[in-house]
Structure 1
Amino acid sequence: MQEMTGAEMVVQALRDNGVKHIFGYPGGAVLPIYDELFQQEDIEHILVRHEQGAGHAAEGYARSTGNVGVMLVTSGPGATNAVTPLQDALMDSIPLVCITGQVPTTLIGSDAFQECDTVGITRPCTKHNWLVRDVNELAAILHEAFHVARTGRPGPVVVDIPKDIQFSTGTYTPPQTAPRTSYHPRVHGDAEAIKAAIELMKTAKRPVIYSGGGVVNAGTEASLLLRELVNLTGFPITSTLMGLGAYPASGENWLGMLGMHGTYEANMVMHDCDVMLCIGARFDDRITGRIDAFSPNSKKIHIDVDPSSINKNVRVDIPIIGDAGTVLEDMVRLWRATAKADKDGLKPWWDQINRWRSRNSLAYKHSDDVIMPQYAIQRLYELTKDRKTYITTEVGQHQMWAAQHFGFEEPNRWMTSGGLGTMGYGLPAALGVQIAHPDALVIDVAGDASVQMTIQEMSSAVQYNAAIKIFILNNQYMGMVRQWQQLLHGNRLSHSYTEAMPDFVKLAEAYGCHGIRCDKPSELDAAIKEMIETPGPVIFDCRVANLANCFPMIPSGKAHNEMLLPDEATDEAVANAIDEKGRMLV
């Protein structure tokens, strides 16, 4: 133990918790911490251009590495600007430590300059938060913050530090001697429940494995165990948006993503299965569709480290609370000891699955005159699949096309905003990924509307020579909004068309990076190669078909077997998909 100021404790705690990079923006209430950062070289601070960008960059850093992401912001608007990435991280289970400055303790509650109730504001959007009132408690709180963020179901935490606490002197407590936290999530699943799950799986004639982001969060070993379980059982497997990459897209048992814009075969399997093994997913509305029609004839096994996720949305038959990797290890061991794959018994099920696959639900009409967005993603995948590639996205049609047409073979290579659906996520997330993996190819698949919400972070990319590639599917619309307006609101395109678009090539040049524009399918490959081979940051303006729609699609409030497929998306089919009140809720 040693005496130091609160600001020194912050930097030492970051160092002791293995932090190499933090993302932040200075302000009056955190200047003592910034002064300490200036006087050391162990931790690199990445200066963003907006606090929201700091949070999303920390999310991308965390998701791509499996480590805790760290952001540092000032009081008042600095803290309130962090709310969006905190909620985003909470919904997508991303480990994040947000350190905020606060006005001196003597001024709290006085409406002082740049004061806000940070703890009150962030309580609903964090796993836990702290207001530090004693410098001698600061180190222990910081260590606990990292523990809470990374264990159990990962998530964001906030440590709010008044300015006088940063100046005060106290005793620093190293992590190994700090008081033990009371937060002890359950890691090992109940042995009897796991045994019952295996027994149920043995009887399955129409099984499916439904995996989610929890498998990715559990580490690389969990993904390997998932693949082993699929090989041992012979079961088909599908995944949520957040779970892509845990099982390889090239795997023969892969059904593709399920849910609102999932494949026909994945959704039909989920509807008709008799045994469902859900691992690290939470049965959210984008997956289930109509709850009372969701997988109506199946027995459900649910593995999740978060007890509150069990039976929250869907009642299950065998709940197993525990870490996905630990439970999968037990399941693999028990299956090896007591069971074997029943290929003959599962053959009728696979025959049916292959009939569903033959519908080719991701098909689209190719054009030699205009770049189809699906084609753009396919070519991007083919030209980057042999590289160490990380993909981030904004939110909208381009996000779904990337999920559908870019094949992910490994976990932690796909960073997207799933639960909150945050426009503007992808560019700063790409910055965070690139800082974590400086030699990798990092591409933000963006929309022309979403990317403008945090476009200023290109300045940070240039400053730190982070060679991110911003691949914009530019259709001149807020594409997903326009699609819903076309299908459900009489094609009344209320404010979904952008009439004053920037020249993205000139914008790239203004930021000091490289700009590319392409609008011809015949020139697309060469343009993508130019983007890849350019050493610094790039903005790629890929002009795609303006009115392409994203299919398949399960209309909200409909069951999995009521999908709209590309060749069925007629006006009549859409009319039949609308509910009895004449509307379909987003």
Structure 2
Amino acid sequence: MTASQAKQETKTAAMTKSGAELLLDALEEQGVDLIFGYPGGAVLPIYDALHARDTIRHILVRHEQGALHAAEGYARSTGKVGVALVTSGPGATNAVTGLADALLDSIPIVCITGQVARPLIGTDAFQECDTTGITRSCTKYNYLVKSSHTLSTTVHEAFHVARNGRPGPVLIDIPKDVQFEAAQYTSRADARNRNCIVTPEIDPNQIDQVVDLMRYARRPVFYTGGGVINAGPDASRTLRDLAKATGFPVTSTLMGLGAFPASDPQWLGMLGMHGSYEANNAMHDCDLMIAIGARFDDRVTGRLDAFSPNSRKVHIDIDPSSINKNVPVDIGIIGDAGAVMSAMLAEWQRREKEEKHDRGRIEGWLEQVDGWRARKSFQYAPAKDAIKPQYAIERLYALTRDKNVYVTTEVGQHQMWAAQHFHFDEPNRWMTSGGLGTMGYGLPAALGVQAAYPDALVIDIAGDASVQMTMQEMSAAVQHDLPIKIFILNNAYLGMVRQWQELLHGGRYSHSYSDSLPDFVKLAEAYGGHGIHATTPDELDAKIIEMIESPKPVLFDCVVTQEENVFPMIPSGAAHNEMLFGEMKEGAVSEQGKTLV
């Protein structure tokens, strides 16, 4: 070997790093400053490398499912890619629920899992499982890294896949010996990028066709979803501008709340199984439906053969597979929601300069919408000596509306009441499990939001059953000084299960009552947090303020009436105009607390 060759070899060796270091370098270049994780044997080299760095903060959760939901909460509230780090075997399998949740709700996360050393793969080694095989159906893409030489470029590609096109979860499975193996770093600029962006250029002819339909429609409606929020803040602003320019009413899925301001007169409220009377009737009777970033899921459409039977349908979505998947449409546009809406708005405004749109065409429609709105479908019968869950949400909203508030939820009745009675004027403020309906989502998701926004007021609106599925994450909240507020609507039931058993199964409440609940105040104190208990309407406001002002994580045990149902409700298999309403008693009140009858 010549002297120059020896010198070059020495230089090359000095430039190499272990796989664990290469992973962290790639994460840093991707802008990652926060990881949610739980260590184990197969990822100890990564944790050892992480110990020497102060550029990436690590939140130690108490269960891997919590890590994935925390990463989801971080991603949904910031618009960035969330990152979770878990070990092999049970660490990876515990992450599956969070991965499936993120896939259905289009949440960009990268999950890094440890794997047994390469020679042991396939030998049934300790804590070995086929992670890539198990997670193939619940990730947008997954990788098994076979060499440290490809590790950094794999990380860059994983972030590219997670955030582009329809966002979603990506998993990187890294054998333990790859984490020790030395290699040179590949920068983001030099890394390959899988072509996951299949969005074609916007077709001006399609935009012309849509605007033609818009200008001649008599009963139009914008049906918006989480895709508007995923497209970024500019997309939400464009939606507002488009609605203002056209005068069309706007409704939204559960996932799209906040993309259009709830305080705007054109807002119809949420649609679907527990949506508003005006939103569902507008969807049923419209003659033009413009779906933007929504996927026509069953909780929105109801009975498909009765779904909006007399409308022309336009569907705008970044995912080609969503077009005509559940509902045949007249015009399908594959594209970023914000970009397509911008093109629609530009064409609308161009035509306005030539000839003003005849607003008289939709006046009768808007009057009809106001008639449906007067039904005040979220009203409920009051209770003098007990807290109604709807009232609890109303007071929570009233006392926090002037604050920098972010809301997560668990899944169940409380989730629907929160969607009905807590109102959002901005995107990325509402984090809930929509597609998978994951009980236990809200508490760890709140950790992720609070870690992203340390000075914000982060509230998990919870149910007494759902919150217990990930209650251990209160320990993480206390350890990492994340003062999340868990507002529990405690009715001692699996509330939505009980509601369906009452309405559909003859009132046979089979295993849906919890007769051994913890003392949530003592539980909060045991974790080192703050516990609050309320049972009457008169004490509720003061105790909500106490919760807001507490510097600690809080468990608020709000005891509510036990057999309240979520109404209105479209029964499974029914059409939008076949809604059920609860019995309205003398003294019924609106969601604003005004007496109606």
* Both structures adopt the same fold (TM-score exceeding 0.5): yes
Question: 1:35 & 1:515 partners in 2: Cα distance?
Answer: 36
- Pick the aligned partner of 1:307 from 306, 310, 320: 320
Question: 2:195 & 2:76 partners in 1: Cα distance?
Answer: 26
Deviates more, 1:423-432 or 1:178-187: 178-187
**2:446 and 2:458 in contact (8 A); partners too:** yes
Report the equivalent of 2:374: 358
**1:514 and 1:539 in contact (8 A); partners too:** yes
State yes or no: 1:81 paired with 2:104: no
Gaps of 5+ in 1: 570-586
Secondary structure of the residue aligned to 1:493 is: coil
**2:160 and 2:193 in contact (8 A); partners too:** no
**2:318 and 2:335 in contact (8 A); partners too:** yes
Question: 2:549 & 2:144 partners in 1: Cα distance?
Answer: 47
Q: 1:283-362, aligned counterparts within 5 Å?
A: 283-339=296-352, 340-362=356-378
Q: Which amino acid in 1 is paired with 2:127?
A: Q
Q: 1:115-194, aligned counterparts within 5 Å?
A: 115-186=128-199, 188-194=201-207
State yes or no: 1:471 paired with 2:484: no
**1:233 and 1:342 in contact (8 A); partners too:** no
Question: 1:72 & 1:448 partners in 2: Cα distance?
Answer: 29
Give a deviation string over 1:270-293, Cα, whole Å, max 9, x none: 000000000000000000000010
**1:151 and 1:185 in contact (8 A); partners too:** no
- Pick the aligned partner of 2:446 from 424, 430, 447: 430
> Do the aligned partners of residues 441 and 188 (structure 1) sit closer, same or farther apart at CA in structure 2, a change above 3 Å counting?
farther
**1:187 and 1:323 in contact (8 A); partners too:** no
Q: Aligned residue pairs: how many?
A: 569
Q: Which amino acid in 1 is paired with 2:98?
A: P
Report the equivalent of 2:219: 206
**1:188 and 1:323 in contact (8 A); partners too:** no
Question: 2:424 & 2:452 partners in 1: Cα distance?
Answer: 19
Report the equivalent of 2:83: 70
Report the equivalent of 1:393: 409
Q: CA deviation at 1:185?
A: 2.9
Q: CA deviation at 1:568?
A: 7.7
State yes or no: 1:261 paired with 2:277: no
**1:188 and 1:327 in contact (8 A); partners too:** no
Q: What percentage of aligned pairs have identical amino acids?
A: 66
Report the equivalent of 2:592: none
Give a deviation string over 1:213-252, Cα, whole Å, max 9, x none: 0000000000000000000000000000000000000001
Secondary structure of the residue aligned to 2:184 is: strand
Q: 1:10-21, aligned counterparts within 5 Å?
A: 10-21=23-34
Q: Which amino acid in 1 is paired with 2:46?
A: I
Q: Which amino acid in 2 is paired with 1:564?
A: L
Q: CA deviation at 1:187?
A: 6.2
Question: 1:24 & 1:175 partners in 2: Cα distance?
Answer: 24
**1:361 and 1:566 in contact (8 A); partners too:** no
CA RMSD in angstroms, aligned pairs only: 1.1
TM-score by length of 2: 0.94
Q: CA deviation at 1:181?
A: 2.3
**2:381 and 2:584 in contact (8 A); partners too:** no
Q: CA deviation at 1:475?
A: 0.3
Q: CA deviation at 1:341?
A: 4.6
- Pick the aligned partner of 1:104 from 114, 117, 134: 117
Report the equivalent of 1:39: 52
Q: Which amino acid in 2 is paired with 1:223?
A: S
Q: CA deviation at 1:536?
A: 1.3
Q: Which amino acid in 1 is paired with 2:277?
A: Y
Question: 1:368 & 1:21 partners in 2: Cα distance?
Answer: 47
Report the equivalent of 2:534: 518
Q: Which amino acid in 1 is paired with 2:253?
A: T
Question: 1:561 & 1:509 partners in 2: Cα distance?
Answer: 48
Question: 1:189 & 1:113 partners in 2: Cα distance?
Answer: 52
Report the equivalent of 2:389: 373
**1:232 and 1:341 in contact (8 A); partners too:** no
Q: 1:269-284, aligned counterparts within 5 Å?
A: 269-284=282-297
Deviates more, 1:85-94 or 1:558-567: 558-567
**1:234 and 1:341 in contact (8 A); partners too:** no
Larger radius of gyration: 2
Q: Which amino acid in 2 is paired with 1:150?
A: R
Secondary structure of the residue aligned to 1:462 is: helix
Question: 1:187 & 1:385 partners in 2: Cα distance?
Answer: 41
Secondary structure of the residue aligned to 2:382 is: coil
Secondary structure of the residue aligned to 1:332 is: helix
Q: CA deviation at 1:420?
A: 0.1
Report the equivalent of 1:484: 500
Q: Which amino acid in 1 is paired with 2:199?
A: R
**2:380 and 2:584 in contact (8 A); partners too:** no
> Do the aligned partners of residues 435 and 549 (structure 1) sit closer, same or farther apart at CA in structure 2, a change above 3 Å counting?
same
> Do the aligned partners of residues 568 and 259 (structure 1) sit closer, same or farther apart at CA in structure 2, a change above 3 Å counting?
farther
Question: 2:174 & 2:262 partners in 1: Cα distance?
Answer: 45
Question: 1:568 & 1:513 partners in 2: Cα distance?
Answer: 40
